[in-house]
Amino acid sequence: MHPAPSVILFTVLSGFGLGLLIWLGLGYPGVTGWKTFIFYVLAYGLTLGGLLASSFHLGNRKNALKAFSQWRSSWLSREAWLVLLTLLVMGGHGFGVVFLASHIPPLGWLGAALALATVFATSMIYAQLKTVPRWNHWTTPALFVSLALTGGALLAGQAGAATVLLTLGSALQLLAWGLGDRRFALRGHTAETATGLGQIGQVRQLEPPHSSPNYLMKEMVFSVARKHSLKLRAIALLLMFVIPLLLLVLLPGGFWICGFAAVSFFVGTLVSRWLFFAEARHVVSLYYGDATPRQPGTGQTEPSP
Amino acid sequence: MTQLPPATSRQLGLVIDLDICVGCHACVIACKGWNTEYQNTPLSDADAYGAAPSGTFLNRVHSYEVQPENGAAQTVHFPRSCLHCQDAPCVTVCPTGASYKRREDGIVLVNEDTCIGCGLCAWACPYGAREMDALAGVMKKCTLCVDRIYNKNLPEEDREPACVRTCPAGARHFGDLGDPDSAVSRLVATRDGYDLMPEQATRPSNKYLPPRPKDTLGEVDVLAPFLEPATETPEGFLGWLDRALEAL
């Protein structure tokens, strides 16, 4: 899939912001007054910044409000509702904490639950797609939620919780990559099932239907990243988990240490999210000669340009 | 409404005969023509006369080479467009209700006035049937020529999709696939018509008819008698000369 910067920024930024809102809703960090104000500004800035970034990939922004209408069937519509409700509820909660120095736990818990549900809805936009086997699995929502909670914990200065979450997150990330690598082949999608010509023999593209790339190829037949994927995975693991964990374990836990860990985690998450898109293969690529890897040596492993 | 109708009273669709298609792309051009000349928002092109032309099409023709276990490879021309699935995944993902399936005839359509151009429906489609128009910023797809098939202003023989009307080989058929007694349904039954990517469980309405088995000539080579090798040793005068010269 095409790793569009707008969508990568949206999912990472809003994931961070909503993750922080979860912690703020639960009452962490346990401060009130103007100190908390900074945290709320940060959380709203990240979430709204992400939403703004996401609007850049819309072809027809003037209809954006209509996206609230189909919550019964569409995860994208549910996400729109949930983010709106989260921002409203947490706005009320934040007002109480910042200006009245009073924490209203039930309101905070509701806000935290809504923020968590928003991240889940975002992940389900990808996880629901049977056409992208790598995403179509429970590890996708698990990883999105875990990364949001971790980012939020780091921003909220919760070193202890962040250490546990980072350890858990690294295991989830490795599991998602490991299982994801084989899923396309396991689901049995091939050029033969795509064309239905498998009953005659092995199918390969002889002539593409058009001379230069179209929307489908630009959007869904992206294959540039795969040759560097191992190096990028190592970089992502280092920045997301290894460096933050070392910082938190070796140095005395404090706000600034958490801040540095958060920056490293943020950049690592960007790399991981880029790979999330770039490594994902859409089944439509089968029509364009991007064949499923067969036995090594049959010459069908690399897509034709 | 982006929820799928529980059942449609009819299910219009296409039957594409891969045995007959010659890969001329006339259906591609007829489709582009009809959906550009008679629509409010045409199917746009970018750099149409430049080095890298690209544009929106609702129908594409691939050509594949199929290699059987034994024998020669076979070329199959393969038109690909919206299959108007009964469990259309492109419909339920739409956040605005722009993508919908009609209860009365099963056609899957996009309401361009409510589309936000998020592209999620194109991601949800296994068949690459949807293309975002680069100029209009809204999703485009096959309408099964809904503005032709019910159009009383057209002569009756033109009330079928432009691709079907134009196909010079007769490889495309249009009809009600929900009715088991319709001509297209009987054609599908006779020729073992099949679904594309059945493992995606989209229940496509359009069916593809497989290429008929190729004739085989067996082991007999009809030209072999005419290809007997010429005699290596000359006879008669030339034979005597050859032998005499050898003896020298």
Give the pLDDT band (50/70/90) at residue A225: low
Interchain CB distance below 8 Å, A132 and B123: yes
Tell me, yes or no, whether A298 lies in a domain: no
Specify the range with the lowest mean pLDDT, choosing from B1-5, B50-54, B113-117: B1-5
The CATH number for A245's domain is 1.20.1630.10
pLDDT, tens only, A243-260: 999 999 888 767 788 999
B12: which strand partners?
B176
Best residue in B17, B21, B62 for a mutation probing chain A (most A CBs within 10 Å): B62
Domain locations in chain B? 12-209
Tell me, yes or no, whether A300 lies in a domain: no
A113-141: average pLDDT: 97
Tell me, yes or no, whether A225 lies in a domain: yes
Separation of alpha carbons A273 and B63, rounded Å? 35
Interchain CB distance below 8 Å, B75 and A206: yes
- B176 backbone dihedrals φ, ψ, rounded to 5°: -95, 105
Q: Has residue A10 got a pLDDT over 80? A: yes
Q: Has residue A298 got a pLDDT over 50? A: no
A225-234: average pLDDT: 82
Q: Is A264 exposed, middle or buried (0-12, 13-18, 19+ CB in 10 A)?
A: buried
B227-236: average pLDDT: 72
Tell me, yes or no, whether A301 lies in a domain: no
Given this model, what pLDDT does residue A222 score? 67
Asked whether the beta carbons of B244 and B50 are under 8 A apart, the reply is no
Which structural domain range is residue A183 located in? 5-56+68-188+214-288
B172: which strand partners?
B16
Give the length of chain B.
248
- The answer to whether domain B12-209 has CATH 3.30.70.20 is yes
- Residue by residue, what is the 3-state secondary structure of A226-286? HHHHHHHHHHHHHHHHHHHHHHHHHCCCCHHHHHHHHHHHHHHHHHHHHHHHHCCCCHHHH
Question: How many interchain CB pairs under 8 A, A with B?
Answer: 202
Asked whether the beta carbons of A147 and A16 are under 8 A apart, the reply is no
Given this model, what pLDDT does residue B233 score? 72
- Residues of chain B contacting residue A194, judged by C-beta atoms under 8 Å apart: 126, 196-197
Smallest Cβ distance to A205: which of B57, B64, B124?
B64
Residue type for position A255 = F
Given this model, what pLDDT does residue B195 score? 97
Interchain CB distance below 8 Å, A59 and B64: no
Number of domains making up chain A: 1
Specify the range with the lowest mean pLDDT, choosing from A62-71, A291-300, B113-122: A291-300
Smallest Cβ distance to B96: which of A66, A202, A216?
A66
A23: which strand partners?
none
Q: Has residue A301 got a pLDDT over 50? A: no
Give the pLDDT band (50/70/90) at residue A223: low
A135-139: average pLDDT: 97
Tell me, yes or no, whether A197 lies in a domain: no
Specify the range with the lowest mean pLDDT, choosing from A18-22, A53-57, A137-141: A53-57
Specify the range with the lowest mean pLDDT, choosing from A281-295, B144-158, B191-205: A281-295
Tell me, yes or no, whether A266 lies in a domain: yes
Residues 96-155 (B) with a CB less than 8 A from some CB of A: 96-98, 113-120, 122-128, 131-134, 136-139
- Helix, strand, coil fractions of chain B, as percent rounded to 5: 25, 20, 55
How large is the ipTM? 0.90
